[in-house]
């Protein structure tokens, strides 16, 4: 009974966001759905070769925040409005967060700011909508293409070397391991709505 619907959309532009939003509205009209689980995972690292003082291009900065913050806000609002508060139905929103939402990293001004802003957005959502379950989940240092960028392109040598050492020491996590931990967290459903939970907290 599993139905998979893929919608290719560039969430960094208005047309892509409109396409994804329209697909969500159409899909969520189905009254037979008894649960909504929305996972906001789309995001980017940004140009981590630059320090704070190198970030002078307004178009680059606005483009980063549009993709990493605005699109998550718009799609979440669209999905929640389309699904509505159906009697007997549960609604859960997951924001894929990061340690960077809490801690500053040199050369990562955009990424840290974006993750911190998203965490706060979803804390506000949890406060405004007590009938929702809202979670910001920091998945830990995953062995992904983004991690490869982090350890090869980061402008700050200390941060770059820190990630290189993590890989050499086998400290990077397989994505499936972190995803399983997230699933257990959602199944237990004991976190305070709006909470930031790190992989290493569980």
**Inside any domain, residue 28:** no
**Inside any domain, residue 25:** no
**Inside any domain, residue 181:** yes
Q: CATH number for the domain including 106?
A: 3.40.50.720
Rounded CA-CA distance 62/67 in Å is 9
**Inside any domain, residue 29:** no
**Inside any domain, residue 92:** yes
List, for residues 159-175, the tens digit of each pLDDT value.
Answer: 999 999 999 999 999 99
The total number of residues written for the chain in this structure = 202
Full domain range(s) for residue 106: 35-70+84-198
Q: What percent of the chain has pLDDT over 90?
A: 97
List, for residues 65-101, the tens digit of each pLDDT value.
Answer: 999 999 999 999 999 999 999 999 999 999 999 999 9
* pLDDT the model gives residue 132: 97
Rounded CA-CA distance 33/88 in Å is 11
Long-range contacts of 116-123 (CB under 8 A, 24+ apart): 117/65, 117/69, 118/40, 118/68, 118/69, 118/72, 119/95, 119/196, 121/69, 121/72, 121/73, 121/95, 122/93, 122/95, 122/194, 123/194
Number of structural domains found in the chain: 1
**Inside any domain, residue 2:** no
Q: What is this structure's pTM?
A: 0.95
**Inside any domain, residue 89:** yes
**Inside any domain, residue 91:** yes
Scanning 54-171, the segments in alpha helix (DSSP H) are: 58-65, 71-83, 109-128, 145-153, 157-168
């Amino acid at each position: 009974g599993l139905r998979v619907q893929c919608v290719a959309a560039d969430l960094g532009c208005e047309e892509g966001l409109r396409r994804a939003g329209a697909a969500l509205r159409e899909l969520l009209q189905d009254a037979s759905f008894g649960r909504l689980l929305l996972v906001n995972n789309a995001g980017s690292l940004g140009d981590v070769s630059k320090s704070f003082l190198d970030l002078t291009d307004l178009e680059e900065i606005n483009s980063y925040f549009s993709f990493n913050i605005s699109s998550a806000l718009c799609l979440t609002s669209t999905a929640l409005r389309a699904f509505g508060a159906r009697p007997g139905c549960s609604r859960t929103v997951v924001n894929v967060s990061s340690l960077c939402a809490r801690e500053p990293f040199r050369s990562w001004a955009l990424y840290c700011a974006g993750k911190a802003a998203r965490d706060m957005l979803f804390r506000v959502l949890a406060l405004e909508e007590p009938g929702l379950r809202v979670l910001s989940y920091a998945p830990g240092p995953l062995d992904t293409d983004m991690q490869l960028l982090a350890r090869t392109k980061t402008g700050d040598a200390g941060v770059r070397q820190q990630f290189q050492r993590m890989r050499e020491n086998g400290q990077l996590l397989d994505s499936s391991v972190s995803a399983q931990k997230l699933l257990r967290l959602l199944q237990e459903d004991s976190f305070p709505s709006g909470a930031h939970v790190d992989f290493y907290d569980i």
